[in-house]
Amino acid sequence: MADRTERHAQATIHAGGEWLEAISGETREILDPADARPFAVVAEGDEKDAERAVAAARHAFDQGPWPHTPVTERAALLRRVADLLVRDREELGLLESRDAGKTAEEGRVDIDCVADAFRYFADLVAAEAPGRVVDAGSPDIHSVVVHEPVGVCALITPWNYPLLQASWKIAPALAAGNTFVVKPSEITPMTTIALIGLLAEAGLPAGVANIVTGPGHTVGARLAEHPDVDLVSFTGGLASGTKVAQAAAPTVKKVALELGGKNPNVVFADACATEEGFDTAVDQALNAAFIHSGQVCSAGSRLIVEEPVRERFVAELARRAQKIRLGRGTADGVECGPLVSAQQRAKVEAYVASALAEGGVLRCGGKRPQPSPERPESGWFYEPTVLDACHREMKVVREEVFGPVLTVETFRTEDEAVRLANDTEYGLAGAVWSADTAKARRVAARLRHGTVWINDFHPYLPQAEWGGFGKSGTGRELGPAGLAEYRETKHVYENLAPKPVRWFAG
């Protein structure tokens, strides 16, 4: 895999089965977040490169074999891709770490999850019936509902989980028989480039999988508005997602949007009644907020804790957060890596400053760490931060920070806990912690979020749908609904014994 990456260091646009440089000849350096040094160079595509890739995908869909390939063969190819991902797990995990700044172990776990997604959609499509027979009330009528691929799909993915988010789109798109153009984030494209190579190695026909590396305002915008694109699936921020939807509207193409969240982690006092329960709830609150330095769309960045245990809980949480070992993700023993860019760190710093100005109390963090050999001063590191005494009117509580910042709110009644947890324009995910099963399930049923965990945080299953309410987006990824996003539904009605209707006398 390393040889392929090096060979295509600048020819990172893949269209019609060929690795190409940008038409403009422009390139971009990819920086390691741990030290801000370049470790790769990729093509910097623009609208013309997007046009070239869409044309290749359109030709492959309209005239190529993939849309008509039997589902068993499509499923077999997806399984081969999963096997190749397992083969290259170590190299891809390290590349994901250097690309996005996460720890190498997180990178390896991501690759496992990517392989799982490919296997899940392979199994799902292979096990399906060829169509749903509809009872028309007559033996002379054969009526069936079938599913067909949408066509050319534009897949626009984010920087925080580059390969995982790409797989949640690419695997179902291919399983359904589509062709696609993927645009990874311009700052974390490396593992997606590698995946395109694995698809070709697995035997995917030329033109089915295409990639354009480049910025969103040129490549992404053109893909979203392009009349030859039949579907656009976008994962990213709310402002960019709104622009994608607006660009796609004139051509009335299918649109799926996953736009992040401001996710509550509700802890009832009874969850902490035992030392084991207390330890688990604190541990999971740390995981919820600080995995991948909080750069997770489903991060539990809003701790909503019941008043009787608030002080003890927050004190212990802050004590443990101060001990999180920051450093280069590839270094042994590091638990949390840097933020993805200087811009992202500056954004986090601005949110913390606004919180303190609005009355928040800093319990730990709130600054850049002291440099060390494993934590170069040039890297974009920021300490895990706990902000107490927060309230709903604060900017840091309302808006998605996407960094290692945890806010603390307090409740006294079950109704108040639900009100606070639902008081957000987002609705992606949330959690409830309680030793009372009935209460936990009751609260979970009242939460307006697409995923709700009870006594846990962060796990997902490829067979269960992922997506949110409100401004967290539209549509779903994963699960049967994730496959349905990449299909059109057709009703075929066959009259086995046609005869004149005689509606008109003449």
- Each residue's pLDDT, cut to its tens digit, for the chain (506 residues) gives 444 444 445 789 999 999 999 999 999 999 999 999 999 999 999 999 999 999 999 999 999 999 999 999 999 999 999 999 999 999 999 999 999 999 999 999 999 999 999 999 999 999 998 899 999 999 999 999 999 999 999 999 999 999 999 999 999 999 999 999 999 999 999 999 999 999 999 999 999 999 999 999 999 999 999 999 999 999 999 999 999 999 999 999 999 999 989 999 999 999 999 999 999 999 999 999 999 999 999 999 999 999 999 999 999 999 999 999 999 999 999 999 999 999 999 999 999 999 999 999 999 999 999 999 999 999 999 999 999 999 999 999 999 999 999 999 999 999 999 999 999 999 999 999 999 999 999 999 999 999 999 999 999 999 999 999 999 999 999 999 999 999 999 999 999 999 999 999 87
What type of residue is 204? L
Name the β-bridge partners of 433. 267
Residue 130 CB neighbours (<10 A)? 9
**CB-based contact 235:158 (threshold 8 Å):** yes
Secondary structure (3-state) at 13: strand
DSSP class of 459: -
Which of 122, 120, 175 is CA-nearest to residue 150?
Answer: 175
Q: Residue 153 — φ and ψ, nearest 5°?
A: -110, 130
Q: Residue 74 — φ and ψ, nearest 5°?
A: -65, -45
* Six-digit token string for 466: 């992922």
Residue 333 to residues 76, 103, 105, 325, 374: CA-CA distances in angstroms?
38, 9, 10, 8, 10
Position 9 scores a pLDDT of: 52
Burial bucket for residue 126 (CB in 10 Å: 0-12, 13-18, 19+):
middle
DSSP class of 471: G
Q: Where are the alpha helices (DSSP H) in 274-333?
A: 275-290, 307-322
Calculate helix-pair angle for 89-100, 71-87, nearest 10 degrees.
Answer: 80
Position 5 scores a pLDDT of: 42
CA atoms within 13 A on the CB side of 318: 18
Burial bucket for residue 4 (CB in 10 Å: 0-12, 13-18, 19+):
middle
Position 323 scores a pLDDT of: 98
Give the position of tokens 């993915």: 157
Cβ partners under 8 Å of residue 505, min gap 6: none
**CB-based contact 193:9 (threshold 8 Å):** no
DSSP assignment string, 337-378: ---S-HHHHHHHHHHHHHHHHTT-EEEE--SPPPPBTTB-TT
CA atoms within 13 A on the CB side of 66: 29
**CB-based contact 22:214 (threshold 8 Å):** yes
* Six-digit token string for 199: 């698809």
Whole-angstrom distance, CA of residue 444 vs CA of residue 426: 16
Q: Residue 478 — φ and ψ, nearest 5°?
A: 65, 170
Give the position of tokens 């170590």: 90
SS3 content of the chain, % helix, strand, coil (to 5): 45, 20, 35
* Six-digit token string for 36: 């801000």
DSSP class of 371: P
Cα distance between the two ends of the chain = 73
Whole-angstrom distance, CA of residue 60 vs CA of residue 50: 15
Which residue of the set 44, 47, 106, 258 is catalytic?
258
Position 2 scores a pLDDT of: 41
Residue 383 a catalytic site member: no
**CB-based contact 210:15 (threshold 8 Å):** yes
Torsion of CA 236, 223, 40, 26, to 10 degrees: -130
What type of residue is 464? A
Position 11 scores a pLDDT of: 87
Cβ partners under 8 Å of residue 129, min gap 6: none
| pTM exceeding the 0.85 threshold for the entire prediction | yes
Secondary structure (3-state) at 485: coil
Position 505 scores a pLDDT of: 84
Cβ partners under 8 Å of residue 365, min gap 6: 321, 322, 382, 383, 384, 385, 386, 404, 405
